[in-house]
Amino acid sequence: MGSTSKMKVLDCLAPLFIACLGILGCTQAVTLEVKEGNSTCIKAELSALLFITYTTFNSTSNVSTSLPDSTSVDAASSSCGAAGRPPWLVAVFGSGHALGLSFAKNGSFYSITNLTVQYNLSDTSLFPQSNGSGVVTVVSSSVGIWAPINTTYRCASPTTIRAGGAAITFSAMRLEAYMPGNDLSPTESVCAADQTTTTTAPPTPTTTAAPAPTPPATPATGVFSVTNSSGTVCLLAKMGLQLNVSYVSQSQNKTVQELVNVNPNLTVTSGSCGGTTASLVLTQQTTTLNFTFSMNSTTSKYHLSGINLLANWSDMTAPFSASNTSLDYLRSTLGRSYMCNTEQTLLVVPAFSLNAFRLQVQPFGVTSSQFAAAEECQLDQDQMLIPIIVGAALAGLVLIILIAYLIGRKRSHAGYQTI
Ligand SMILES: *[C@@H]1O[C@H](CO)[C@@H](O)[C@H](O)[C@H]1NC(C)=O
Ligand SMILES: *[C@@H]1O[C@H](CO)[C@@H](O)[C@H](O)[C@H]1NC(C)=O
Ligand SMILES: *[C@@H]1O[C@H](CO)[C@@H](O)[C@H](O)[C@H]1NC(C)=O
Ligand SMILES: *[C@@H]1O[C@H](CO)[C@@H](O)[C@H](O)[C@H]1NC(C)=O
Ligand SMILES: *[C@@H]1O[C@H](CO)[C@@H](O)[C@H](O)[C@H]1NC(C)=O
Ligand SMILES: *[C@@H]1O[C@H](CO)[C@@H](O)[C@H](O)[C@H]1NC(C)=O
Ligand SMILES: *[C@@H]1O[C@H](CO)[C@@H](O)[C@H](O)[C@H]1NC(C)=O
Ligand SMILES: *[C@@H]1O[C@H](CO)[C@@H](O)[C@H](O)[C@H]1NC(C)=O
Ligand SMILES: *[C@@H]1O[C@H](CO)[C@@H](O)[C@H](O)[C@H]1NC(C)=O
Ligand SMILES: *[C@@H]1O[C@H](CO)[C@@H](O)[C@H](O)[C@H]1NC(C)=O
Ligand SMILES: *[C@@H]1O[C@H](CO)[C@@H](O)[C@H](O)[C@H]1NC(C)=O
Ligand SMILES: *[C@@H]1O[C@H](CO)[C@@H](O)[C@H](O)[C@H]1NC(C)=O
């Protein structure tokens, strides 16, 4: 956790930002679905920019084009994988251009085995002065996109795949094949690029040196928010966070347990919002903490379903990575926020737990950048019960003493009279 790594984050952000503005032009997203009967087997939400080099009569030329809104799935060529064919998503756009993604799976993972780009040099609006004509097909079979079965592959960072004279850059990608339901699985598998870089504004520059890794004091409360593409706040969180991590120390040559507070002043916030999943990613130098919230649309209840920690602290023998995607914490209802003032320990894996203080979150249904009415955790309700119980007990005691006193007084009074 050195200040140099902070610079790395900033250095990574700048080209991303420029790429988005300049080259990608923040290309529009398309949603593509392959169906068999009524069930969806492949679904992809992505933005893509194609970069193609072609020969003209007297030289070579480059053209770049993004997948237009009108891109559609070619149902005749696409397949869910019946009759021994692999699942194949074929999207067509413009005048005879196409993009194909072919999938395969093994026991636990699915992957894109090959990517096909087809472009029609006869389309003179896209390829002016091309000396060739007709459709060119190029294939890449080293795509490197894979995820565990029953999870959605997510990658906000741009990923470029080259095939022949074409290069295709995907961004804001979410996709799944071999889908168990008709919607993308709420559990996401985040690509490596997203785990090391973030996609929102850089942090306010601070001159603070490397954070002290051992402040077991109560962590400062930070306010974190995620905005959607239209610039409105869609996820809100207010909390103090403390990481409790066991790792093998380089200097001590043994497993140590360390408490590290998240310093909101040094944290870069990013994330995403969706109808049924939302994520909050907090990056502090070489530490990335990722929360995934899931909503059950039938019951309109949401909960914290996943926590992922990546840490590369200087004393670690190897970068630390811990993830649990089947958590059930912070349960609340759509239209409400979840609040817990009492300290909560969220166990993620045996080597990593997260202590949360003065927490309030709302991952769905945020309106006008404010928390909705809170549903308070049981711990807070119990805490509130203690003074009530103590109060009631005290009141009872006073009553008993009073009655005892009155009875006593009456008795002694009666005693006097008999004498
Ligand atoms: C698809 O859904 C429609 C209406 O929801 C139904 O009538 C039809 O039988 C379904 N087809 C299949 C193949 O399940
Ligand atoms: C290529 O040829 C076209 C006309 O055929 C001409 O307009 C253009 O300037 C030429 N480009 C080069 C680099 O010579
Ligand atoms: C290629 O583009 C030309 C001109 O736009 C068009 O006539 C032709 O049908 C296209 N080829 C295919 C396979 O769509
Ligand atoms: C790519 O995948 C498609 C669909 O599975 C297949 O038809 C094609 O032969 C594959 N190409 C290569 C080069 O593997
Ligand atoms: C399954 O596929 C993934 C991704 O392609 C690969 O990393 C993994 O080793 C494969 N597992 C087996 C058992 O083949
Ligand atoms: C197109 O240009 C390339 C390179 O200049 C040349 O090798 C090729 O023969 C040309 N093709 C046609 C159809 O003119
Ligand atoms: C994926 O989910 C489906 C339905 O929920 C289930 O039947 C299947 O066993 C799951 N597969 C894996 C590898 O978890
Ligand atoms: C940190 O985690 C360990 C178990 O891994 C636990 O014994 C310890 O009490 C935790 N400390 C705090 C302050 O939560
Ligand atoms: C670390 O400890 C192990 C045994 O606990 C020992 O074998 C190893 O030599 C030690 N390594 C260093 C660098 O001290
Ligand atoms: C964060 O910054 C504020 C104002 O600059 C400062 O008052 C506060 O102490 C800082 N908090 C931490 C944990 O460094
Ligand atoms: C939503 O909740 C209902 C009732 O608890 C449950 O039956 C259903 O499986 C849940 N759906 C999802 C997608 O988790
Ligand atoms: C972890 O940090 C070390 C030293 O700062 C660096 O050499 C290494 O590449 C980092 N590893 C990862 C996965 O970022």
118-132 confidence digits (pLDDT tens): 999 999 999 998 988
pLDDT, tens only, 219-246:
999 999 999 888 899 999 999 999 999 9
Closest to 281 (Cα-Cα) out of 255, 300, 306: 306
Torsion angle of the four alpha carbons 360, 362, 367, 370, in this order, in degrees rounded to the nearest 10: 10
pLDDT band at 331 (very low <50, low <70, confident <90, very high): very high
CA distances from 108 to 104, 131, 354 (A): 11, 47, 28
> Whole-model pTM?
0.48
Most confident of 2-11, 14-23, 54-63, 142-151: 142-151
> What is the 180 CA–ligand 7 centroid distance (Å)?
6
Ligand 3 touching residue 74 (CB < 6 A): no
User: 3-194 and 222-378: same fold?
Assistant: yes
- Name the average pLDDT for the chain: 84
Would strands 188-190 and 152-155 be described as parallel, antiparallel, or unpaired? Answer: parallel
Give, rounded to a whole angstrom, the gap between the first and last alpha carbons of the chain: 88
Ligand 3 touching residue 343 (CB < 6 A): no
The residue-averaged pLDDT of 245-274 equals 91
Q: What's the pLDDT at 113?
A: 95
Any idea which ligand is nearest the CA of 77?
Answer: 4
> What is the 164 CA–ligand 4 centroid distance (Å)?
15
Output the residue whose Cα is nearest ligand 7's atom 1.
Answer: 150
pLDDT, tens only, 132-153:
899 999 999 989 999 999 999 9
Q: What is the percent of the chain with per-residue pLDDT over 90, rounded to a whole number? A: 56
Q: What's the pLDDT at 27?
A: 59
- Residue scoring higher pLDDT (235 or 203): 235
Closest to 46 (Cα-Cα) out of 61, 75, 66, 17: 66
> What is the 253 CA–ligand 9 centroid distance (Å)?
6
Ligand 6 touching residue 53 (CB < 6 A): no
Q: What's the pLDDT at 417?
A: 52
Ligand 3 touching residue 96 (CB < 6 A): yes
Q: What's the pLDDT at 74?
A: 95
Cα 61 to chain centroid distance, Å, stands at 39
* Dihedral sign from CA coordinates of 246, 249, 254, 259: negative
Ligand 12 touching residue 321 (CB < 6 A): no
pLDDT band at 171 (very low <50, low <70, confident <90, very high): confident
Q: What's the pLDDT at 410?
A: 78
CA distance 10 to 17: 10
Q: What is the CATH number of domain 3-194?
A: 2.40.160.110
Which option is the CATH number for 222-378: 3.30.1330.10, 3.10.20.30, 1.10.3720.10, 2.40.160.110? 2.40.160.110
> What is the 222 CA–ligand 10 centroid distance (Å)?
10
Contact (Cβ atoms closer than 8 angstroms) between residue 96 and residue 77: no
Most confident of 251-260, 348-357, 401-410: 348-357
Q: Which helix (H) or strand (E) holds 405?
A: helix 378-418
pLDDT, tens only, 351-376:
999 999 999 999 999 999 999 999 99
CA distance 169 to 159: 5
The residue-averaged pLDDT of 42-57 equals 91
CA distance 396 to 403: 10
Residue the block writes with tokens 């996401």: 188
Q: What's the pLDDT at 60?
A: 83
Q: What's the pLDDT at 239?
A: 97
The DSSP bridge partners found for residue 291 are 280, 307
Any idea which ligand is nearest the CA of 103?
Answer: 4
Q: How many residues does the chain have?
A: 419
Q: In the chain, where are the structural domains located?
A: 3-194, 222-378
Q: Which of 58, 62, 124, 130 has the most ligand 2 atoms within 8 A of CB, as the residue to mutate?
A: 58
Q: What's the pLDDT at 100?
A: 96
> What is the 354 CA–ligand 9 centroid distance (Å)?
30
> What is the 244 CA–ligand 8 centroid distance (Å)?
6
Is 104's pLDDT higher than 80?
Answer: yes
Ligand 12 touching residue 312 (CB < 6 A): yes
